[in-house]
Chain A
Amino acid sequence: MDFKKILVAVDASDNSVRAITYVAEMVGSSNGFRVELLHITRLPDKDLFPDEKSWDEQRLRQEQKARDFLKEARAILENKGMDPGAVSERGLCIMEHSIAKNILEIQEEGGFGTVVVGRRGMSKAEEFLFGSVSSKIVQYAKHCAVWVVA
């Protein structure tokens, strides 16, 4: 695994901004690092909407938000000296349940040696009910380093 090949999973939250800022500070002006910004949009469950049209409107809003955030994230990295050619972006839309599982599949397929995620800070009860992407990544990641930025 190439630990200088970094996958930063983001979700347009403040925690993600902190994670990107941390990566920018750590590797921005160093040579040999490549960073892929990964935004996974989980499309909302259709059961939650009265009709297809309102679901589609929500989907478009989420996709636009993801695109905007990826631009912002790239700017944070470049402002800290990261070579624009060393930064790539990927936006994915999924219908399946687990974002953590998707992140780890991409990490494995892409040979990323480092995965970075933000962490909101959840209570036990929240983690039980809602689940935590960062906890699952820490639990199930193999052959890579995981940076959790809280």
Chain B
Amino acid sequence: MSSEVRKLVERYLPDFPIIHCGKIYRDTSEFMNISYGDVIALNGLHYMVFRDEAERRFGMEDPKYWVKRCQVLETGERCILKLVFYESFPMKIGPFVIRCHRSAEKEGRILDLVKDDLRFMQGVPMKDEKGNLVRVLKLIRGKRLDVAVGAIPVDHRTYFHEFFPEILEKFIGSCEAIAFLHSHGEKHGDIRRDHLWVESGTGEYRWIDFDYAFDFFENPFGLDLFGLGNILLFLVGKGHHTSQKMRELRFGEDVFNALPPEDFSLMFHYRLVNLRKLYSYIPEELNRVLMHFSVGANVFYETVDELLEGLYPCLDLVSRP
């Protein structure tokens, strides 16, 4: 136990159990060693570490040892510190395996770019004593968008007419946010359902986690577009429609068997894209946007602006019951 940490705790966090006071870290290189009760000193402030963040994927908790849930001792504010963890790893996307890199610099640049733009998580990049680029992130209180949509306790028709118009409007705002990044030469890099959050209170949609980098040079925004297409499909369908889901929803075997391969996702061949075949009230124009992400597509979106051009007219169409 460091006496410096003990003094800080006694001053700013008197209810914290002294027995758990750890060490003070000014160099965050060895992030695995930093845990509950340790304090990270950055730019004149002290961050008490409570725990490592974790992602829940495929029913398992996946700890992220480089992401620390903290409290600023001097101000009492809760925040997240993302420490530098350079890794390069293969990521599976549909049938492809691509090499992904985690880049603190990229995330730091984007945080600077989107400062005060509440369509994105907010934070400040700052260097520790050893020059590691730590990102100090504000907490977003809310829910993942997919979880929020999945929890709406109504059937699809009711959802589509009563809830979806507002969801689409907000999602269009989220697409515009990604177009803004692209117009500045940046990519989100990891557009997934669990990286778009609905903020409690305001109900605004906010993107999180920008540290993935890829080398997709000829179609640099293809991966982001693919992610947006997946989320849109989820939102229109109030979930993804696989054969299993369709059985749960009581669509007959004959409906499923009548669907040709062209109606399914270009990347995930088990995921239905041509949702209008199940829900005839989905406007043709909106379904056409979805079909750009299907096996049957002959033309693909190259930019988010092209996707938005397809989506804008749909706003009026879905607002009409």
Q: Give the B-binding residues of A (Cβ under 8 A).
A: 42, 44-50, 97-100, 124-133, 136
Contacts and interface: CB of A to CB of B under 8 A. Distances in A.
17 contacts: A42-B217, A44-B215, A46-B105, A48-B214, A50-B86, A100-B218, A124-B297, A125-B94, A125-B95, A125-B96, A125-B267, A128-B219, A129-B98, A129-B219, A130-B218, A131-B218, A132-B219
Contacts of B106: 47
B222 interface: yes
Contacts of B139: none
Main secondary structure of the interface of B (DSSP, over half): loop
B295 A128 contact: no
B222 A45 contact: no
B236 interface: no
A67 to B, nearest CB: 20
Interface residues of B, number: 28
B295 A124 contact: yes
Instruction: Name the residue among B94, B218, B222, B302 with the largest chain A CB count within 10 angstroms.
Output: B218
B300 interface: yes
Contact of B300 (A42, A97, A98, A127): A127
Given A47-B106, A48-B88, A130 B216 contact: yes
A47 B105 contact: yes
A131 B300 CA distance: 10
Interface string B220-260: 10110010000000000000000000000000000000000
* Chain A to chain B: the 10 pairs with minimum beta-carbon distance, closest first: A131-B219, A131-B218, A47-B213, A47-B103, A47-B106, A48-B101, A50-B86, A97-B220, A128-B300, A129-B222
B32 interface: no
Interface string B96-118: 10100101011000000000000
Instruction: Name the residue among A124, A130, A132 with the largest chain B CB count within 10 angstroms.
Output: A130
A97 B218 contact: yes
Given A44-B215, A47-B103, A48-B88, A128 B220 contact: no
Contacts of B215: 44-45, 48
Contacts of A130: 216, 218-219, 222
Contacts of B214: 48
A20 B36 CA distance: 62
B152 interface: no
B34 interface: no
Contacts of A98: 217-218
B101 A99 contact: no
